[in-house]
Structures are given as structure tokens and as C-alpha cells.
């Protein structure tokens, strides 16, 4: 959507490149957060199991 608006407004290729890089960084950050939260859940379950919960 952002790319369509920038293209409509005549955004420069540099601006498009910056937006694409930001989108890539955002996807990486979201992926990292998902993996980290998944590992935290696994660790919590393992700890709970080890404590006999």
C-alpha cells in the first residue's frame, strides 16, 4: 500500500529503496520476536516440567 502511494506521488527510487529496506527490517524484527517468544514458551514449559508442575 505504501509503495502504491509513493508511486502515485512520484516517489524517488531512493525513497522506494529506503521504504523497502524498512519493510525488510520490520519483517526480520517480527520474525525474530516470534522465534524468541516461541523459545521462551518452550523454556518455560521445560522448566515447569523439571520442577514437577
The answer to whether residue 32 is domain-embedded is: yes
Q: What is the pLDDT of residue 30?
A: 98
Q: What is the pLDDT of residue 22?
A: 96
Q: pLDDT (tens digit, 9 = 90+) per residue, 1-53?
A: 556 655 666 668 888 999 999 999 999 999 999 999 999 999 999 999 999 97
Q: What is the pLDDT of residue 53?
A: 72
Residue 41 backbone phi and psi in degrees, to 5: -65, -45
Parent domain of 35: 24-53
Q: What is the pLDDT of residue 11?
A: 63
The answer to whether residue 14 is domain-embedded is: no
Residues 6+ apart with CB under 8 A from 16: 3, 6, 7
The answer to whether residue 40 is domain-embedded is: yes
Q: How many domains does the chain have?
A: 1
Amino acid at each position: 500500500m505504501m509503495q502504491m502511494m509513493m508511486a502515485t506521488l512520484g516517489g524517488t527510487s531512493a525513497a522506494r529503496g529506503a521504504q523497502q529496506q524498512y519493510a525488510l527490517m520490520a519483517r526480520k524484527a517480527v520474525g525474530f520476536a516470534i522465534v524468541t517468544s516461541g523459545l521462551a514458551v518452550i523454556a518455560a514449559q521445560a522448566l515447569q516440567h523439571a520442577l514437577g508442575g
